[in-house]
C-alpha cells in the first residue's frame, strides 16, 4: 500500500467508501501463481534430493506429499479469497490467522523432505540454535504469549495502522507457529524429543494457553478494535460486535479441530507403534522357543 496509512484505508472501507472485493481480488492471481510455483518446486526438490541421497522417492509417502500440498492450498485460500474480506470483517481476519498459524504449519512440516531438513540441522552451531528455539517450553510460551499480546487492542490497532507492521507481525507469528508445531509433528525422528504421552500433555497445555485470547474476543461486551468499528457495508451483513465475537469463536473452533486432529494422529501413531513392538516381541519369543526346542532335540542325540 506504499506509504498510505493503512488505518485510514480501513476506516474508509468501514464507512462505505469502498466496495467489497471483486472476483480478481478474491482470486488474487499473484498469490495463486506463487502457490502453484511453490508446489512445483516442492516436487522437484523431493525428486532431486531423494535421487541424490539414493534413498528412493518412496520415503516420501503419498500421504506426506498430500499433506504438504494441502498446507500450501490452505495458505492460498486463507491469504487469497478469505484474506480479501479480512479488512472488512474481523471474523474473516481471525479465520485467516487461524488457518495460517494453526493448520498450515503442521501440514507443511509433515510433508517436508527429511533429507532437506537434515541439511539445516547438520551444522553444529545452527543445530544448537534450532534445538533451543524448538524446545517445547520455549515454543509454548513464545507462540501463545505473542498471540495474546497481538490481540491487545492497543497492539492490534498499532499493527493494523501500517502495512509493514502487518507484514512484520505475520512473519514473526509464522516463524513462532512453525516452532510451536515442531515438537508435535517433528519430521526428523532423531530430533523428536517428546514421547507420545508428553505430546498429549503439550497439546493440552497449548489449548489452555490459547483459550484466554479466544475468550477475550468471544465474550467481550464492547468493540475492542478501532480497525473494525463497522460501516455501511459490513453492518448491513453483521453487527460489528457480533462479528468480533464470531472471530473469537472461529479461532477456538479451528484450534480445537487442528489440535484434535494432531491429538488423534499422535494417539493412533502411539497405538500402532506399541502394537508393532508387541508383535516384534512375540515373534522374537516364538523364534527363541523354536531354537530352544531344536537344542533340546540335539542334546539327547549328542549324549547317546
pLDDT tens, residue by residue, 233-267: 677 688 889 999 999 999 999 999 999 998 888 88
Closest CA to 110 of 173, 181, 172: 181
Grid cell 498510505 in the structure block, residue: 4
Domain residue ranges in the chain: 6-257
Q: What is the pLDDT of residue 34?
A: 95
Q: How many CB atoms lie within 10 A of CB 139?
A: 22
Residue 262: exposed, middle, or buried by beta-carbon count in 10 A (0-12, 13-18, 19+)?
A: buried
Distance CA 198, CA 178 (A): 18
| Contact criterion met (CB below 8 Å) for 205 and 140 | yes
Average pLDDT value over all residues in the chain: 84
What average pLDDT does range 142-169 have in this prediction? Answer: 93
CA atoms within 13 A on the CB side of 91: 16
**DSSP structure string for 47-61:** HHHHHHHTS-GGGS-
| Contact criterion met (CB below 8 Å) for 108 and 133 | no
For residues 45 and 13, the model is more confident at: 45
Phi-psi region of 19 (alpha: psi -120 to 50; beta: other; left: phi over 0): beta
CA atoms within 13 A on the CB side of 147: 32
For residues 148 and 49, the model is more confident at: 148
**Residues with Cβ within 8 Å of residue 5, at least 6 apart in sequence:** 161, 162
Grid cell 499473484 in the structure block, residue: 30
| pLDDT over threshold 50, residue 154 | yes
CA atoms within 13 A on the CB side of 59: 18
For residues 303 and 15, the model is more confident at: 303
Residue 293: exposed, middle, or buried by beta-carbon count in 10 A (0-12, 13-18, 19+)?
A: exposed
Distance CA 40, CA 106 (A): 20
| pLDDT over threshold 60, residue 159 | yes
Q: How confident is the model over 66-123, as pLDDT tens digits?
A: 999 999 999 999 999 999 888 889 999 999 999 999 999 999 999 998 888 888 888 8
Amino acid at each position: 500500500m506504499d506509504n498510505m496509512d493503512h488505518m485510514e484505508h480501513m476506516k474508509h472501507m468501514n464507512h462505505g467508501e469502498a466496495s467489497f472485493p471483486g472476483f480478481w481480488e478474491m482470486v488474487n492471481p499473484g498469490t495463486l501463481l506463487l502457490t502453484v510455483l511453490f508446489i512445483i518446486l516442492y516436487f522437484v526438490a523431493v525428486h532431486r534430493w531423494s535421487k541424490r541421497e539414493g534413498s528412493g522417492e518412496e520415503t516420501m509417502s503419498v500421504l506426506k506429499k498430500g499433506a504438504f500440498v494441502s498446507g500450501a492450498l490452505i495458505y492460498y485460500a486463507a491469504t487469497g479469497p478469505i484474506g480479501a474480506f479480512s479488512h472488512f470483517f474481523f471474523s474473516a481476519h481471525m479465520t485467516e490467522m487461524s488457518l495460517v498459524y494453526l493448520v498450515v504449519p503442521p501440514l507443511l512440516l509433515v510433508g517436508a523432505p527429511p533429507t532437506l531438513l537434515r541439511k539445516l540441522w547438520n551444522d553444529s552451531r545452527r543445530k544448537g540454535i534450532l534445538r533451543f528455539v524448538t524446545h517445547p517450553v520455549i515454543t509454548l510460551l513464545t507462540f501463545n504469549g505473542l498471540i495474546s499480546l497481538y490481540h491487545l487492542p492497543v497492539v492490534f490497532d498499532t499493527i493494523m495502522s501500517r502495512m509493514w507492521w502487518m507484514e512484520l507481525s505475520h512473519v514473526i507469528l509464522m516463524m513462532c507457529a512453525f516452532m510451536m508445531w515442531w515438537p508435535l509433528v517433528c519430521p526428523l525422528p532423531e530430533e523428536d524429543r517428546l514421547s507420545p504421552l508428553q505430546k498429549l500433555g503439550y497439546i493440552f497445555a497449548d489449548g489452555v494457553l490459547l483459550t484466554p485470547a479466544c475468550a477475550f474476543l468471544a465474550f467481550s461486551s464492547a468493540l475492542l478494535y478501532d480497525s473494525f468499528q463497522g460501516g455501511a457495508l459490513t453492518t448491513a451483513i453483521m453487527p460489528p460486535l457480533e462479528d468480533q465475537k464470531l472471530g473469537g469463536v472461529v479461532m477456538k473452533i479451528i484450534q480445537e479441530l487442528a489440535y484434535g486432529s494432531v491429538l488423534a494422529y499422535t494417539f493412533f501413531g502411539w497405538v500402532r507403534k506399541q502394537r508393532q513392538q508387541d508383535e516384534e516381541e512375540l515373534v522374537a519369543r516364538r523364534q527363541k522357543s523354536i531354537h530352544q526346542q531344536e537344542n533340546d532335540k540335539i542334546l539327547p542325540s549328542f549324549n547317546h
